Amino acid sequence: MSLLEAFEGVFVKYSLVTAFAVVGLMVWFSYVLSDRLTKGRLHGSAIAIFLGLALAYLGGLFTGGQKGIADVRALSGIGLMGGAMLRDLAIVATAFGVRMDEFRRAGLSGVVSLFAGVVTSFGVGIGVAYAFGYRDAVSLTTIGGGAATYIVGPVTGSAIGASSEVMALSVAAGLVKSILVMTLTPFVARYIGLDNPRSAMVFGGLMGTTSGVAGGLAATDPKLVPYGAMTATFYTGIGCLLGPSLIFIVVRALV
Amino acid sequence: MAIYGTGILAASLLIGLLSGRLIGWLVGLNANVGGVGIAMLLLIFCTDCLRRSQRLKVPTENGIAFWSAIYIPIVVAMAASQNVLAALTGGAVAVVAGVLSVLACFALVPLVGRLGGDRSVVNEKKSPL
């Protein structure tokens, strides 16, 4: 065994610890860049998230895997650290210290935003798929689901019997959406009034992609995270509910 | 002790996820409907009750606050483990559908924000209507 392999063994065995160290370094580096290059105008966490996405791209390019940089054996702990388990634990923890009446005040617009978000995303996705020449209700609805989230797409597709090629497209559409929400939110926040708990809840309900909303709000203003996450968490469920039923029936009637 | 806080947090998440699965199962879905949201409400409710009866000690709070503080690094790790390559090479229809749906939803944020709910909240932020 070479020394390099022996070293790799340590990183693999202590994968989560390695992830803490690597991510810690990335965040530190991003905040230095934020200070030095942008004088704090571009939030350090926005740079860190962008850096993460860039690493994920490189990881996919070099390993051919699906989990970004976490497919590099020595960095597999990043997948655990950024996986659903710890992510959801941390999202719930952000609710600590939030006042209940904030949620209640924005309750109705939160619910409206959920349905508006699901229907709009499906509508746009279906329209784009139609423009690209898809004419069967199954493919149209599945790609529409992908424009909602990368979970709604394949769940809808498998329920109504879409081809695997169309399902892969719907996952890709959902990934594009999630990445765009992560990176664009800090830039558009000012123009769409995203600066208070109420609009954060509306934002979460409209966007729906948990990872996108989690990243986008973290890069904009961490105080808004619990509000956006609260509504976003209902989105995928509602999308999976409406996609293969109501929306599919409407699309089938139209084409 | 810090573990009390982390324990309350973990239990809230588990109960929330179980409830979300239950709701999904009841409506015939193999998905979690609002589990994390329910967990958040549970955590707020629990800590509020404990705080009112003055049983929420500082070390217990720290056991929750740590996870809240580690949130952004976790999101960075999440970003680093996304399938970015698949998103960028998934085909034009996927990219266009993703881009347009994000733009449409961004545009809806101020519109829906004005619907429903009491006016006073809106008026605090926006000058005279």
d(CA A184, CA A126): 23
Pick from A23, A33, A89 the residue to mutate for testing the B interface (most B CBs within 10 Å): A89
Residue A229: closest CA among B48, B39, B122: B39
Which two structure tokens, joined as six digits, stand for A252?
Answer: 């089938």
| B14 lies within 8 A of chain A by CB | no
Q: Complex ipTM, two decimals?
A: 0.85
pLDDT of residue B128: 40
pLDDT in tens, A39-95: 877 778 888 888 998 999 999 999 988 899 999 999 999 999 998 899 889 989 988
Is the pLDDT at A131 greater than 80, yes or no? Answer: yes
pLDDT of residue B121: 45
Which two structure tokens, joined as six digits, stand for A36?
Answer: 């030095």
CA-to-CA separations, A254 to A80, A98, A135, A249, B104, in angstroms, rounded: 44, 45, 10, 9, 22
Is the pLDDT at A246 greater than 50, yes or no? Answer: yes
Residue A65: closest CA among B26, B81, B56: B81
pLDDT of residue B84: 83
Is the pLDDT at B119 greater than 70, yes or no? Answer: no
- Residue B81's identity, in one-letter code, is S
pLDDT in tens, A161-199: 888 888 888 888 998 999 899 889 999 998 998 888 889
Q: What percent of chain B has pLDDT over 90?
A: 40
- Residue B112: phi and psi, rounded to 5, are -65, -35
Is the pLDDT at B87 greater than 90, yes or no? Answer: no
Q: Is A170 helix (H, G, I), strand (E, B) or coil?
A: helix
Question: Per the CB < 8 Å rule, is A238 touching B67?
Answer: no
CA-to-CA separations, A103 to A83, A85, A98, A201, B112, in angstroms, rounded: 27, 24, 9, 8, 16
Query: Residue B69's pLDDT band (boundaries 50, 70, 90)?
Result: confident
Chain A residues 64-83 with CB within 8 Å of chain B: 66-70, 78-79, 81-83
Average per-residue pLDDT in chain A? 89
Chain centroid to Cα A13, Å, comes to 29
Is the pLDDT at B126 greater than 50, yes or no? Answer: no
d(CA A192, CA A232): 18
Total-model pTM: 0.81
CA-to-CA separations, A115 to A22, A126, A243, B72, B112, in angstroms, rounded: 39, 16, 12, 28, 11
